[in-house]
Amino acid sequence: MKKVLITGALGQIGSELTSKLRNEYGINNVIATDIRYIENSEVAKDGIFETLDVMDIDSMALIAKKYNVDTIIHLASLLSAVGEQNPQFAWKLNMGGLTNVLEVCKELNCKLFTPSSIAAFGASSPKDLTPQDTIQRPSTMYGVTKVAGELLCDYYFNKYGVDTRGVRFPGLISYVTPPGGGTTDYAVDIYYEALKNKKYDSFIAKGTKMDMMYMPDALAAIVDLIEADGSKLIHRNAFNITAMNFDPEEISAEIKKHIPDFEFGYNVDPVRQAIAESWPNSLDASCAVNEWGFKFEYDLAKMTKDMLEKLKSKGIGINN
């Protein structure tokens, strides 16, 4: 990467990825964009920022040309639970935005990274160690757009030679930005509530295992895949990656090691629970390991310790 443009730069992944890339590649080599401008956002004020609606292909192309961009990281989308509230808009934004990015990349010969998700699988997919290549019949509009996006990126690579790359993220956990409406957000909420109120009721039911990843590992995976030797990539656009696998009881037990009087219960959200039950219990990430050396650093114990320390340093909690 020499000059990279990020869409959705003020979102959960984008805000942290923008800072990471500015530190690694130089502040003037990373162009952050989002549909809105947030005045007190470090991403918006500490480097190049342009307001961009990804549905506006002309503006996207102008910005990419203005800064001589050679790589686009496309993160703008609606997530699973939010997408179910307005599925027509989720399709329009997720697929329309991706199509526009692909066209700009084709015109300007840019490399593209765009993430897929564990939501691309469905109830008929193998539940345990879900293979890289398997049946994908998602039950959410978000998942439908992710499957369609994987296929569309493959099409643009095979038809036009656009260097498209991507991963299927599991649930992502971060201390920097608040949750954005995903089904796995309970695994972020629980840390905040453990520090603030020393109690939490999970909207995901007991025994529901899902794959997760701590944000530093997710950001490293993005950079590693973008910089990987393209000649060694077989799957390119939808690599399974994962770092840990747990249910609500396991994450609460880990938190109790640090906050012994933490109280944990359940208040299950049937919509998000149904989504979670349609997803795999665990993913097989061997293709990512073999094709571009995917690795991770954080397991549940190491992540929990770091999350609680980082949130306390931000002033989250009581009697800190």
In terms of Cα–Cα distance, which of 146, 85, 82 is closest to 279? 146
Give residue 11's identity as a one-letter amino acid code: G
State the Cα–Cα distance between residues 6 and 236, nearest whole angstrom.
19
Chain CA centroid to CA 111, Å: 19
The gap from C-alpha 42 to its chain's centroid, in whole angstroms, comes to: 20
List pLDDT tens digits, range 198-221. 999 999 999 999 999 999 999 999
The whole-angstrom separation of Cα 74 and Cα 166 is 10
Strand 210-214 with 244-246, pairing: antiparallel
- Pick the catalytic residue from 67, 142, 192, 298: 142
Q: Helices (H) and strands (E) in the chain — how many of each? A: 12, 14
Residues of the chain falling short of pLDDT 70: 1, 80, 178-181, 318-320
142 noted as active-site residue: yes
Q: 202 has which bridge partners?
A: 266
Predicted local confidence at residue 180, as pLDDT: 63
Domains and CATH numbers, the chain: 4-170+214-240 (3.40.50.720), 172-212+243-313 (3.90.25)
Q: Which phi and psi angles does 213 have, rounded to 5°? A: -155, 140
* Predicted pLDDT of residue 185: 87
275, 205 in Cβ contact below 8 A? no
- DSSP secondary-structure letter at 207? T
- Compute the distance between CA of residue 104 and CA of residue 98 in angstroms, rounded to an integer: 10
Task: Please give the pLDDT value at position 85.
Answer: 87
Please return the burial class of 39, using the count of CB atoms within 10 Å of its CB with bins 0-12, 13-18 and 19+: exposed
Reading the block at residue 251, the tokens are 């994450």
pLDDT at position 161 is: 97
